[in-house]
Structure 1
Amino acid sequence: MRLFTSKLGWLRVLSVLEGFSLIILVFIGVPLKRIWESPELVQILGPIHGAFFLLFCMNLLGTAVEYRWKWTLSTKLFLASMIPFGTIFLDYKVLKPMWESEVSEENPAE
């Protein structure tokens, strides 16, 4: 898969993983904890979501350096990741178009 061959591709993967881990945590884990007093899923998913978020932030920094993004773009992407489900929006509106243009530049005949 081409998605795993570049920092931008990895950033896309991590943004989706981080976003969906938050969705599971908020819409499944928290209700289980609050309504049925079953905190196990939150205890497992909370650290996993935190790890995905940290990996996303580290990869964002590495990608920004490698692609020589302006600090304003990097800051906007980081701030958007602080908004719940912002990383999924980032992938759809910002990262996917960047990645598609990168792939089309690598393979102009396709």
Structure 2
Amino acid sequence: MKHYFNTNIGRLRILAFLEGISLLLLVFIAVPIKYILLNPTLVKWVGQIHGILFILFIFNTLKVGVEERWSFKKTTWKVILACFIPFGTFYIDTKILAKVHKPSAH
């Protein structure tokens, strides 16, 4: 787990996981509770956390894209698009991020 914190791509993978979990919690738990049980409290809390993680994910994706010299047309936009789709960040982690993440030998 430590190797995720040593690289920008590793940190982006952690953010992708957290952002993906927050989106799932928001869409599949908080929003139904808001409309079925008429209780918006969970949407307020999860929504704020998701919003922060979403923004961090976007900025870090752009940062890693520039540092790794990703083609915006081939890679960066796919990674950004993933955070708009439930389960998208998990898919993109497997298909793109895990393949370019080369942990140090520490």
Q: TM-score, normalised by structure 2?
A: 0.88
Identity level (%): 44
Match 2:84 to one of 58, 82, 85: 82
Determine which structure has the larger helix proportion and give its number. Answer: 1
Q: Which moved more, 1:82-91 or 1:16-25?
A: 82-91
Q: Which runs of 4+ in 1 moved over 6 A?
A: none
Rg larger for: 1
- State the match for 1:21 in structure 2: 22
Unpaired runs of 5+ residues, structure 2, are none
Unpaired runs of 5+ residues, structure 1, are none
Shift in Å, 1:32: 1.2
Q: What number of residue pairs does the alignment pair up?
A: 104
- State the match for 1:92 in structure 2: 94
C-alpha separation between the residues in 2 aligned to 1:26 and 1:79?
Answer: 17
Residue correspondence of structure 1 range 3-82 to structure 2 within 5 A: 3-72=4-73, 73-82=75-84
Q: Secondary structure at the match of 1:42?
A: helix
Instruction: Supply the RMSD in Å over aligned alpha carbons.
Output: 1.6
C-alpha separation between the residues in 1 aligned to 2:22 and 2:83?
Answer: 13
Q: TM-score, normalised by structure 1?
A: 0.85
Shift in Å, 1:39: 0.8
Shift in Å, 1:55: 0.2
C-alpha separation between the residues in 2 aligned to 1:31 and 1:18?
Answer: 19
Shift in Å, 1:82: 2.5
C-alpha separation between the residues in 2 aligned to 1:28 and 1:5?
Answer: 33
